[in-house]
Amino acid sequence: MRAVAASTPAASSCFTTRRPAARRLAVAVRAAPATTAAAAAPAVFHYTELQLETKPGIHIVDITPQIRAEVERLGVQEGFVNVLSRHTTTAVTINECEPRLLDDIRQAPPNWPGGWEAWAAQEPENAHSHLLSMVLGNSETVPVTGGKLALGQWQSVMLVELDGARKRTVGVQVVGTQQAAGSS
């Protein structure tokens, strides 16, 4: 019998495969070299936390105003904001914050294949909340351009409570550049 070295498919294939030159993505060229742009505008790396109180059941909170205010307060002109729920039974998503759509969102999970009962055997208290969090995701990244969040007309960043009324923490990391001194 031959011994075979153990390796995971992810480890052996993720970093060794290269896209053929003909299929590589085009890269946008800056008007000014990155070093010139970075030297001209002060860099911002700022982390803050939003403290929220959620309601029972599936509760959706629009956190766009708080994120927008933080970007404006810091004076970031170009960059991005990463929003991360600090909990395993919540999600962060971008969608339309329209009341009827939010009602549909609240009603959808129990109607997914198997419903709540399919998950109850593993963890009857809140397995559904953990699984939905994994499906929906717990973070979003939003570009900032011209000092504004680059969201579509109807898009909002929302915290989705999946497990009941609690105090929740959402991390907001703002990374970017401020307007260079003397420019307008």
Question: Residue 17 pLDDT more than 50?
Answer: no
pLDDT one-digit tens code per residue, 54-75: 998 888 999 999 999 999 999 9
How many Å apart are CA 10 and CA 17, to the nearest integer?
A: 11
CA atoms within 13 A on the CB side of 58: 19
- At 27 the pLDDT is 47
Least confident of 5-9, 98-102, 115-119: 5-9
Task: Give mean pLDDT, residues 100-104.
Answer: 76
pTM above 0.85, yes or no: no
Average pLDDT over residues 23-39: 52
Instruction: Show the domains of the chain with their CATH numbers.
Output: 42-178 (2.60.120.460)
Spatial contact of 85 and 77, defined as CB atoms under 8 Å apart: no
Q: Which residue has the higher pLDDT, 86 or 19?
A: 86
With contact defined as beta carbons under 8 Å apart, do 88 and 169 qualify? no
